[in-house]
Amino acid sequence: MQKKVLVMSVLFIMISALQLKAQYAVTDTTHKKWFVGSTLFLLGNLATTNSPEFFQLNIGYRITGKDVITIEPKTWKYAWPNGIHPFLNSAYGKKEEEFPGYVREFGVSLAYQRFFTENWYAELNVMPTWQTFKDRQDKKIDNGFQIFNTYRVGYHVKLFKDRFFIQPSLAITHRAYHTTLPNGFKQLDDKWSKFVFGEPGLHVGFNF
């Protein structure tokens, strides 16, 4: 139920935002070039079971009114394959799909956004991550590495005289490369696609 409420909230914000003016004119040199932010999915850390212990910080720079780059250090843990859609696939959270432990990841994304209208943008996000595999007793099993890409379409909404913004979005995630998973993890992971379609996003930020 919590997952459905979260998805519906993102969709509602995207629909509501269609009435709002957003991005910056190409020739506008007065807008704030820097911003910091994160994602409202940090609220997932409040889950009483299987908390992802998730952290993300976005540090961004507007090269022009239509070109934006962002660096995003992140960390989280998960106990189900990344190929299962966390909101739309009922297999996510089922005991038979659970890893014999969990994966802790640390990554730093480099993202590029290109605005193709005043407020709609496309984004390419490339993130190398370092993985630690642990068993259910929290004992380390192995290390790993992957490259995790996100292909995103979103909508930028200015708030409070452009001090803040929100960016509801939908994405395709892609595990472009990863090292071999440990025994027990690999068999479950191999059952699922390297792509997940329609993953919602909801970034928030502060301009300065």
Three-state DSSP at 157 gives: strand
Residue range 53-105, pLDDT digits in tens? 999 999 999 999 999 999 999 999 999 999 999 889 999 999 999 999 999 99
- Strands 102-115 and 67-78, how do they pair? antiparallel
Residue range 9-45, pLDDT digits in tens? 444 444 454 444 445 554 454 568 999 999 998 999 9
Nearest-angstrom CA–CA distance, 33 and 125:
20
DSSP 8-state code for residue 95: G
Query: Distance from first CA to last CA of the chain, Å, rounded?
Result: 37
Q: Are 143 and 132 in contact (CB under 8 A)?
A: yes
Nearest-angstrom CA–CA distance, 196 and 199:
7
> Residue 67 has which token pair?
């070109």
Residue range 124-178, pLDDT digits in tens? 999 999 999 999 999 999 999 999 999 999 999 999 999 999 999 999 999 999 9
The pLDDT assigned to 48 comes to 78
Whole-prediction pTM:
0.84
176 to each of 54, 57, 75, 147, 157, how far by Cα in Å? 22, 23, 19, 6, 30
Integer Rg of the chain from CA: 18
Residue 163's Cβ-side half-sphere holds a number of Cα atoms within 13 Å equal to 2
Q: Are 175 and 83 in contact (CB under 8 A)?
A: yes
Q: Are 76 and 53 in contact (CB under 8 A)?
A: yes
